[in-house]
Amino acid sequence: MTKQKFHRKTRSVRPLLLSVALAAGIVGTTLSAPALAADITVYKSPSCGCCSKWADHLQAKGHTVTTKNMENLDAIKKLAGVPEGLQSCHTAMVEGYVLEGHVPAKDIERLLAQRPNAKGLAVPGMPVGSPGMEGGAPDRYDVMLFDTDGSVNVYGRY
């Protein structure tokens, strides 16, 4: 085969190879494990704006959110087993887990993918910069994994 013929064949194959590579990239992206959308029930005060913003954050990540407004959240926190030191402004439930406070969606998705033997996740207090608490200089905060036996471990750092 002459050099000239080789180049012609190479040029005609390049678009095909490029198409295959692009298709493989698209297929690879499509086949990667997307976060599964979850149904999340949020118990919050009717007047709390940051709780509504947190629910919006979850919806923007593809989750279905049902909000239940309550004047007093103490009973739901006690029923859910949220330790006092981990409490925040709202409590949520997702697939048997408790979510307390402004837990980022990506930590919820990781929790649901890993399914640890735990009660749930909590972001104590209301740290600036957490989902729903945007604005101002962000605080450093931890997402805590907690269990009914009282154990608490850092699950995420921000």
pLDDT tens-digit series, residues 25-65: 433 333 333 457 899 999 999 999 999 999 999 999 999 99
**Helices (H), ranges, the chain:** 3-31, 49-60, 74-80, 105-114
pLDDT tens-digit series, residues 96-138: 999 999 999 999 999 999 999 999 999 999 999 999 999 889 9
| Residue 102, pLDDT score | 98
| Residue 98, pLDDT score | 98
Structure tokens belonging to residue 18: 């490029």
- Residue 83 CB-density burial (10 A; 0-12 exposed, 13-18 middle, 19+ buried): middle
Strands 64-69 and 39-44: parallel
Residue with tokens 């729903």: 132
Note the pTM of the prediction, 2 decimals.
Answer: 0.77
Is the pLDDT score of 91 beyond 70? yes
